[in-house]
Structure 1
Amino acid sequence: MALMSVGNRYGAVAVTIHWLSALLILVLIGSGFRAASLIDSAAKEAVMLLHVPLGAAILIPTLLRLLWWWLADRKPDSVAGDPAWQRVSAKVVHVLFYVVILGMAASGIGMMVLSGAGGILFGASEAALPDFHDYAPRVPHGLGARLMVTLLILHAGAAFYHHFIKKDGLLRRMWYGGAEG
């Protein structure tokens, strides 16, 4: 598999960044909703010790992907025969992924800074975790999480539709291996 994308498939760099990002986002969604549901401070702190560093870490593949598309690679062509509304919808969903990821990272960092929770989580303070609902970035962070779930459902649903219903090889374009079959 080539490092760069070609007309009908993504290259190894794009595929790796895609699946690494997907894994991080799934863990972040699970840990974020889990932390939000916990009342016990010690349990919440344990989940946040995973969630916070991964939340900061998602910035790396996101920025790398943006730089990769901007400087080094081009996306494969759209699948032939897709109606215009599907091509536009796909572009909108992909742009919203970037906006939501960057917004979630910014609001998460904002909550850590404003609440002092970063120092609590990483040992600079013995205080209990604050109630994040007391901090303004909590609202966009929670809305962003719900929007991310919606985008993931739309994205995966479209991929499965192409794979199982249309059988047009779209999903195989975003995996490692040879030419489409």
Structure 2
Amino acid sequence: MKSTSAKYGTVAITIHWLSALLILAQLGSGFWAASIIDGAAKEEILKFHAALGIVILVLTIARLLWWKFADRKPDPVAGGPAWQMLAAKAVHVLFYIVILGMVASGIGLMVVSGAGAILSGETDAMLPDFGNYAPRIPHGMGARLMVGLFVFHAGAAIYHHLVKKDGLLARMWYGAS
């Protein structure tokens, strides 16, 4: 369950890949909802989007608590330049900042726009134009930043796997390295 000095444990691996899949679904549903004009369809997508945001928040908090109190990360892969280790740490920290910022701006958007009451069924009003509310700006910027971080992170993993062949990607998968 726990990580070793050379490999991530099953808990860390499961949280990592589940988070990745859910964040991709979240990004897809968010961009989809932003492009839809039909209010009823948009409302259904946003119900999914809001619920998924809460699941991602819980998973992110679980991950932070897991690293703080229950496990330690494996040692860095030997032979990598210092700038790559610094870039990897920066990307991981940015992931946490963006995830938490996206949750905060999403909740803020639901509250100030009144959409939270609509999505929860408390009122049957129409969804507002989210562009009229300040939290929409950081929420949209965060989504685009998340896409960039995802591409950078996945690209680095693929580079390590295909070019460097240093076993970095295998450390974040189930089974023996």
Q: TM exceeds 0.5?
A: yes
Q: Give 2:96's aligned residue.
A: 98
Matches for 1:37-116 after TM superposition, within 5 Å: 37-116=35-114
Distance 1:19 1:93 in 2: 16
Distance 2:19 2:124 in 1: 33
Q: Give 1:36's aligned residue.
A: 34
Q: Name the aligned partner's letter for residue 141 of structure 1.
A: H
Residue deviations 1:37-79, cap 9 Å, x none? 1111112112112101001111111001111111111111111
Matches for 1:17-28 after TM superposition, within 5 Å: 17-28=15-26
Q: Give 1:8's aligned residue.
A: 6
The offset of 1:119, in angstroms, is: 1.4
In angstroms, what is the RMSD of aligned CA positions? 0.7
Residue deviations 1:134-176, cap 9 Å, x none? 1111000000000000000000000000111111111111111
Structure 2 residue runs of 5 or longer lacking an equivalent are none
Q: Secondary structure at the match of 1:58?
A: helix
Q: Secondary structure at the match of 2:3?
A: coil
Percent of pairs with identical residues: 67
Is the counterpart of residue 165 in structure 1 residue 163 in structure 2?
Answer: yes
Q: Secondary structure at the match of 2:52?
A: helix
